[in-house]
Amino acid sequence: MEPVVRLIPLGGLGEIGLNMMLVESGDDLIAIDCGLMFPDDELPGIDHVIPDFTYALERRTGFRAVVLTHGHEDHIGALPYLLRELPVPVYGTPLTLALVAERLREHGLLETADLRSMRPRDRIQAGVFGIEPIRVTHSIADGIGLAIDTPAGTIVHTGDFKLDPSPLDGEAPDYRRFAELGERGVTVLCSDSTNVDRPGHTRSEVEVGQALGGRFDVATGRIIVATFASHIHRIQQVLTLAARTDRRVALLGMSMQKNVTIAADLGYLQVPPSIVVPLEELASLPARQQVILSTGSQGEPHSALALMAAGEHKYVKVERGDLVIISARVIPGHERTIGRVVNALYRLGAEVLYEDNAFVHVSGHASQDDLKLMMSLTRPRYFVPVHGEYRHLLGHARLAESVGIAPERVFLMEDGMGLELSTSDARVVGGFPAGRVLVDGKSVGDIGAVVLRDRQLLAEDGLIAVSVAFDKSGVVVAGPEIASRGFVYVKENELLMEELKKAVLAALAERDSDAPFDRELVGATVRSAVRHFVNQRFRRKPVVLPIVLEV
């Protein structure tokens, strides 16, 4: 019987973020990445979303390793929740593991974690799987793809990647190794789909540095640069330009400060002498010598940039003559928040450069020509697009077919589906548990659809609480008393509240007086009466909370 290998995506196929893919053969199982996803407006109050680990935990005795491609939150952020359940070994490059260690320290898990460093072209063994990291470029340093030797052949997983021929750190993608794997034979290529709708090649990080350099040369006042705290190469460009133009740099945002320290300690960031100074010292310099490197490139509430835009930052007041550079791509769903920040900065008199009006950012993901090149280098027998919403996966599948990969060898999958491979065949199988587990504070997985629906209703239509007290015979002795939040202001609507009370009492009076007192039934009667009254009068559906007391 031929050996069988399964690829099982638990996240990242059907959404941006939440990246995690299992590779299974016999009793052995490994995971590629373990990321989270940040919530949108449809998940009120949720901190973040993690994959459903059910299937992986059911296979805990054979779970050999988690292998990380890079240090972005959508690839490492769920690790603390997995390691809390199962202390499996974690492999990653040095910078990736340093970022992981910081997350695990926050969760009190670092001392028990088994973190194992690896470098490109190293080879590690995890059960039946031989795993080789391959250098790629991305918007964070130390990114890798993976070549995984399995009983059914070699699987190449690109991770998040672009093919930058002139990266800032000189660590070019390992084109030769991908080509060697293609010569030897690649069974499956799993490739990043994020930028499949962009034609041509993704531009080099060096080009952004050149464009920013022109802005630094002509700026006459303070420069505020907002970017991702994980974008070590972009941070390097800003530090280098500041030194060249005789400016000093202050770091704003806890994650920015931590990441700069980590990257500098590991040698991934070269900080010019005396260039980084405390914010208090920077403020004493002339504006033309000041650079502030800040978090908040997505306009996140309470981020350093958002507070500056709102005029609420404790130490920094944006003024006329300031140049604000938002050096990041707007993540889908953040358009409104970043738009509000940009407008507020303009109102304060700053000049604002961002992706819509200036060349201040390049993507970390491969565009169409880069994706085609990856396919031509690896020449896979089968192709699976990964990392993207369905439209991205579909576009990548069509791109693969356009370069000659037969349609029957392209597998368009989503979370919970699986690709079952043997040495002679491949087929899609399904039914693996995969879903979104919601994290709200210390609560993991306890928030379900009913709670989310209630939160949405509370946000849209408010709440009405009705308290009624009964004696032992079921006669109303007090109330109903009505309180409202987000529906109407009770003190300004006393006549309306009186009408609502009468409607509740009328509904209660219709009960069978001979029936035994039933608190649940009374509560349902009150709820129904309030809903009917409000719907008839206002066409609204607030959450109704009956409080039934027995005295």
Three-state secondary structure readout of 310-351: CCCCCCCCCCCCCEEEECCCCCCCCHHHHHHHHHHHHHCCCE
What pLDDT band is residue 449 in, cutting at 50, 70 and 90? Answer: low
Q: Is 135 helix (H, G, I), strand (E, B) or coil?
A: strand
Residues 234 and 227: beta-carbon distance below 8 Å = yes
**Who has greater pLDDT, 6 or 334?**
6
26-54 confidence digits (pLDDT tens) = 999 999 999 998 766 566 556 668 898 99
Q: What is the average per-residue pLDDT within 344-366?
A: 93
pLDDT of residue 322: 94
Nearest of 109, 46, 42, 124 to residue 76 by alpha carbon: 109
Judged against a pLDDT cut of 60, whether residue 146 lies above it is answered with: yes
Residues 291 and 248: beta-carbon distance below 8 Å = yes
Which amino acid is located at 93 in the chain? T
pLDDT of residue 506: 79
Nearest of 486, 444, 347 to residue 48 by alpha carbon: 444
Q: Is the dihedral of CA 445, 451, 457, 462 positive or negative?
A: negative
pLDDT of residue 40: 60
Q: Which range is most confident: 295-309, 337-351, 463-477?
A: 337-351
Q: What is the average per-residue pLDDT within 472-480?
A: 73
**Who has greater pLDDT, 161 or 49?**
161
Buried residues in 417-447 as b, exposed as e (16+ CB within 10 A): bbbbbbeeebeeeeebebebbbbbeeeeeeb
As given in the structure block, the two tokens for residue 167 are: 């990266």
Q: Which range is most confident: 15-19, 55-59, 132-136, 536-540?
A: 132-136
The neighbour count for residue 475, using CB atoms within 10 Å, is 11
List, as one string, the DSSP characters of 438-506: EEETTEES---HHHHHHHHHHHHH-EEEEEEEE-TTS-EEEEEEEEEESS--GGG-HHHHHHHHHHHHH
Side-chain half-sphere of 278: how many Cα atoms within 13 Å? 2
Nearest of 123, 110, 57 to residue 86 by alpha carbon: 57
What pLDDT band is residue 327 in, cutting at 50, 70 and 90? Answer: very high
Residues 410 and 383: beta-carbon distance below 8 Å = yes
224-281 confidence digits (pLDDT tens) = 999 999 999 999 999 999 999 999 999 998 899 999 999 999 999 999 999 999 999 9
Q: What is the average per-residue pLDDT within 63-71?
A: 97
The percent of residues above 90 in pLDDT, for the chain, comes to: 65
Judged against a pLDDT cut of 60, whether residue 446 lies above it is answered with: no
What pLDDT band is residue 373 in, cutting at 50, 70 and 90? Answer: very high
Judged against a pLDDT cut of 80, whether residue 86 lies above it is answered with: yes
**Who has greater pLDDT, 169 or 472?**
169
* 9 upstream amide cis, omega within 30 of 0: no
- Name the DSSP class of 516: P
Q: Is 396 helix (H, G, I), strand (E, B) or coil?
A: helix
> What separation in angstroms does the CA of 311 have from each of 181, 288, 305, 508?
55, 21, 10, 54
Lowest-pLDDT choice from 94-103, 174-183, 215-224, 329-338 = 329-338
Average pLDDT, the chain: 89
pLDDT of residue 480: 81
Domains of the chain from N-terminus onward: 5-200+363-444 (3.60.15.10), 205-353 (3.40.50.10710), 454-550 (3.10.20.580)
The alpha carbon of 303 is separated from its chain's Cα centroid by a whole number of angstroms, namely 16
What pLDDT band is residue 453 in, cutting at 50, 70 and 90? Answer: low
Judged against a pLDDT cut of 80, whether residue 514 lies above it is answered with: no
Contacts 24+ apart (CB under 8 A), 516-525: 516/474, 517/470, 517/472, 517/473, 517/474, 517/550, 519/548, 519/550, 522/468, 522/470, 522/546, 522/548, 523/548
The percent of residues above 70 in pLDDT, for the chain, comes to: 90
Judged against a pLDDT cut of 90, whether residue 96 lies above it is answered with: yes
387-435 confidence digits (pLDDT tens) = 999 999 999 999 999 999 999 999 999 999 999 999 989 999 988 988 8
110-141 confidence digits (pLDDT tens) = 999 999 999 999 999 999 999 999 999 999 99
Secondary-structure percent of the chain, ordered helix, strand, coil, rounded to 5: 35, 25, 40
